[in-house]
Each structure stands twice: as C-alpha cells, then as structure tokens.
Amino acid sequence: MDFSGLGPTLAVLALTVLLLVCSWKSKRRDSRLPPGPPALPLLGNALQIDKRAPDQSLMKLSKKYGSVFTVWLGTRPAVVLCGFETVKEALVDRADDFGARGTVPSIRKVTKGYGIASSNGHRSLQLRNFAITTLRNFRNGTKTLEDFIQQEAKCLVEVFRGTKELPFDPTFHLTCATANIMCAVVFGNRFNYTDSKLLNLLDMITENMKVISSPWGQLYDMLPNILDYLPGPHNRLFENAARIKNFLREMIQSHKDMRTKERPQDFTASFLSKMEEEKGNPTSEFNDENLLLSTFNIFLAGTDTTSSTMRWGLLLFMKFPDVQKKIQREIDEVIGSERTPAFDDREKMPYTNAAIHEVQRYSNIIPLNLPHTVTRDTEFRGFMIPKGMIVIPLLASVLYDSNYWESPETFSPDRFLDKKGRFKENEAFMPFSAGSRMCIGETVAQMQLFLFLTALLQNFTLRSLAEPHAIDISPLSSGFSTLHRPYQLYCVPRKSA
C-alpha cells in the first residue's frame, strides 16, 4: 500500500488536534475569565478582529458575549469593557482597581515604564500630579497658555490666507499649530512653520501615528517576539521614537545650559527645579529618564490628537454647511470680525460649543482608549480579572452608546443643546476617558479646539472641491486612532466673501 500521499493530511490532522487541545486547555485554565470567542493558539482572536476597524469588531463581539468579555491578542488575553455604564463603573466607581496603565509591547519597548503615560503606582502619581499642576499654572513671563494659543491661531489664519483660495490639505498646518502649543508647554518656545527641526519632528510623529494605527502596529503588539526579528514598517516606529527622543534630549540640554533665572517657566524648567529640590530624596521620581519620557508623552499625546480632531472638524463643517453657518453667525454676534477669540467666549456660544463637542464624539479619535490593567485580582460583574491583565475600556462603545445618544451614527450638534438652545452636558461624552488615568491635557486641548476653530471660521468659509453630499465622512481606518479620509479644502476669506 502507498502511504506517501498521507503525509500532508496527517500533518494537518495533527495540527488541528493540537489547536483544539490548546484552545480547550486555555479555556479551562481561565474559566473564571469573562466569556469570549474561541481563540487559536499563537493567533488568539486575530482572525475575528478587523485590523482596519478593531473597535467595530469588538463592539460586534460584545453583542454576542456581553459588555465584559475576553479576547486574545495573540497569546495574551485582554478584557474588553463595552458601553458607558460598564466603562464608568470600572474607571470611575472602581478607580482603585482599574486605574493602572496596562503595557503593550510597543509602548514598553519605547518607554521602559518611565514617564507619565506608561508608569504606575508612586511614579505615576508623582508625575501626573506634577504635570497637572504645571499645566494649570503655566505662565511664561506675562504670557498665559491662552496667549500662546491666540498667537498661534493668528499665525494659522495667516498661513491659511496665504493659500489664496487654492485647494490644500490642512494636515501639515494644523499639526504645526498643535505641535507649537506642545513646544510652548514643554519648552516655552515655538518654531516657524518652515523650521527644519519642527518639520522633522512632525514627520516622525505623523508617521508613528500612522504605523501604530495600521495592521502592522497591532500585529507587533500581538507577536512582538517574532516581529522583532522581521523587517517591516513596524521598525519605523522604534527608529522614529529614538529620533524624537534625541530631539527632546537636545532641547532639555539647552534648558540645563541656561541659568535658572533665564529659564522660561515651562514644564521642563519646572521639572529641572523639582529635580534640584528633591536631590537628596532616594524615592524621588524627578530624574532625567522621567523628564525625557514625560516630555515624549506630552508631545506624542498632545500633538496629533488635537490636530486630528480639528481635521475631522473642518471636514464635518464642509459636509454640513448649515453647521458652519450657524457657528459663523454666533462668532459674528459674540466676537465680531476684529477681536481675537478668547476662551471665555465659549460660555456665550452654546452652538459652537455643541458643534465642537459633537466633532469630538463623532470622530472618536482614540476608539480603544489607552490600555489599562487591574492593580489586583479583581471581581467584576461576576467575573475574575487577574492582576496585570490588559483591560480595554472601549471609548468607541461609550461615544456611540445608543442608550445615551440618539442615532449615534448621525452627526448632530443639536444633541448637546436643550430646548432653550443652552449647552447641555451628556455624561457619556468621554473622548478624554475618565477616572484616575484620564487625559491630563483635556483643558489644553479644549482651549485649542475652541480658539483655533473659531479663529478659522471667523476669517474664512471652508469649501470642498466636492459637493457636500459627495464628501465621505466614514473613517479611513481606526486602530490606535480613527483616521479620516485624506481631503483638500479651500478657504474663502469672509470679508470679501
């Protein structure tokens, strides 16, 4: 009898049996974990998660497995929390259990646990409190943060005016503006939009956002031990991170070279003073590594997020010209055409405030949140989540929770207004997350969104080459960040419009 043809069949059979045994074993071992789809060894649930829209795949899985379920990211399990009530219960009501940062391999490789965003325990408490206080009290000489943003808004308006009603992609200009605000916060200065230092920095930040949101970024976090040895775009992530760190090291060194009295009152200068103050304290977290990684965190967390939200805003204002007109009407009534918008104006501009909130809700730019973990073995809604396990409090499922938002798929600023046209909060508005790890830059971001967007609409009407009905506002992809489709706009100056 000839058995030679049976070789491949037997191999497939053996592999199938092995996969079934492994998946059964992993299920049994973790029987108190929340339920979830069956996982394959090595791959986990990779085949059930769309790499171009993981948030959508997870929301679909929650329909079958409930608001707390387990997915396997490669060989690592993660608990997904879905919907406003579940996310709020974990992050706010149970902040002591769920308020720790979970690490993913790509972030661990870059930060090694230093800095605000990747640390935990004593370190994170010290660094977060310090950063929040420094941002709140930021002042450089006589200039407040609002002064810096207003000055940057004027530059942005001039750059937009310089496009002379020709179509352009606003990404570069908007990212220059938000990066300059982060420069002001961290180093007390700004760069010209043509400065090669700024341009290099932006190239690296933008490329990293793209890679980390791409299938490659997600694949790296699932299989780091394999991908570390393979060529591919994921390697750019680490090359860029190293170059960004070099840039930051240089900037920090130039602060150190200044005499204390000459230093601007920014994050770096305050951190250096704190290092001096705590020199003899062996448990101090104010050291060079934490300074470098904290400035790294602020740049990365603060630049593309705010720029991307504004890009979504401009796109949505072109898609819905009525919304744009209503904002402009409010600007004309409250600010007029001459005065620079101020953050205090926001209170008197409920429609504009509502429209910006709706841009943030709709664009859902950090759909998966940053990863969390539990600080101890934690009983939650009848399940057991082991200490250290990754927890994903799915912000997409909060911002699109149909129990809290009517027709969540529709862009509608009116949902943030009451019957009398006054601004109305919604507790499920959580683009900055919630609880003890919530974004530290919320106020800085909201100030920028309001001042930049109103300055632009005060001066221009934004138009698209395509008719509004033909503008596609569905996301291009969502991974770490939800990316809009590339677009061009042209600006018609309002005074001559």
Residues that bind ligand HEM (CB under 6 A): 101, 116-117, 128, 185, 297-298, 301-302, 305-306, 309, 365-366, 369-370, 431-433, 437-441, 444-445
- Here the tokens at position 38 are 């069956």
- Residue number with CB closer to ligand HEM (46 or 365): 365
Cβ of residue 155: shortest distance to ligand HEM, in angstroms?
18
Cβ of residue 435: shortest distance to ligand HEM, in angstroms?
6
Cβ of residue 362: shortest distance to ligand HEM, in angstroms?
12
Cβ of residue 32: shortest distance to ligand HEM, in angstroms?
25
Q: How far is Cα 482 from Cα 364, in angstroms, rounded to an integer?
A: 7
* Contact predicate 233/216, CB 8 Å: yes
b/e per residue 202-231 (b: at least 16 CB within 10 A) = bebbbebbbbbbbbbbbbbbbbbeebeeee
Q: How far is Cα 55 from Cα 350, in angstroms, rounded to an integer?
A: 31
Cβ of residue 121: shortest distance to ligand HEM, in angstroms?
12
Torsion over CA of 141, 127, 356 and 339, rounded to 10 degrees? 0
Cβ of residue 449: shortest distance to ligand HEM, in angstroms?
7
DSSP 3-state of 433: coil
Cβ of residue 328: shortest distance to ligand HEM, in angstroms?
23
- Here the tokens at position 319 are 């898609």
Segment (H or E) for 380? strand 378-380
* Contact predicate 266/138, CB 8 Å: yes
- Residue number with CB closer to ligand HEM (331 or 439): 439
Q: How far is Cα 26 from Cα 33, in angstroms, rounded to an integer?
A: 11
Cβ of residue 365: shortest distance to ligand HEM, in angstroms?
5
- Residue number with CB closer to ligand HEM (105 or 431): 431
Q: Tell me, what amino acid is at 196?
A: S
DSSP 3-state of 391: strand
Tell me which residue has its CB nearest to ligand HEM. Answer: 441
CA angle 348, 489, 480 (to 5 degrees): 80
Segment (H or E) for 140? strand 139-140
- Residue number with CB closer to ligand HEM (328 or 360): 360
- The closest alpha carbon to 494, from 379, 353, 347, 324, belongs to 324
- Here the tokens at position 429 are 């508005």
- Residue number with CB closer to ligand HEM (306 or 378): 306
- Residue number with CB closer to ligand HEM (227 or 456): 456
Q: How far is Cα 395 from Cα 434, in angstroms, rounded to an integer?
A: 10
Q: How far is Cα 395 from Cα 401, in angstroms, rounded to an integer?
A: 10
Cβ of residue 26: shortest distance to ligand HEM, in angstroms?
27
- Residue number with CB closer to ligand HEM (223 or 392): 392
DSSP 3-state of 445: helix
Cα–Cα distances in Å, from 480 out to 140, 217, 483? 33, 9, 9
- Residue number with CB closer to ligand HEM (356 or 457): 356
- Here the tokens at position 288 are 């060079």
- Residue number with CB closer to ligand HEM (269 or 365): 365
- Residue number with CB closer to ligand HEM (68 or 185): 185
- Residue number with CB closer to ligand HEM (130 or 432): 432
Cβ of residue 176: shortest distance to ligand HEM, in angstroms?
15
Cβ of residue 131: shortest distance to ligand HEM, in angstroms?
6
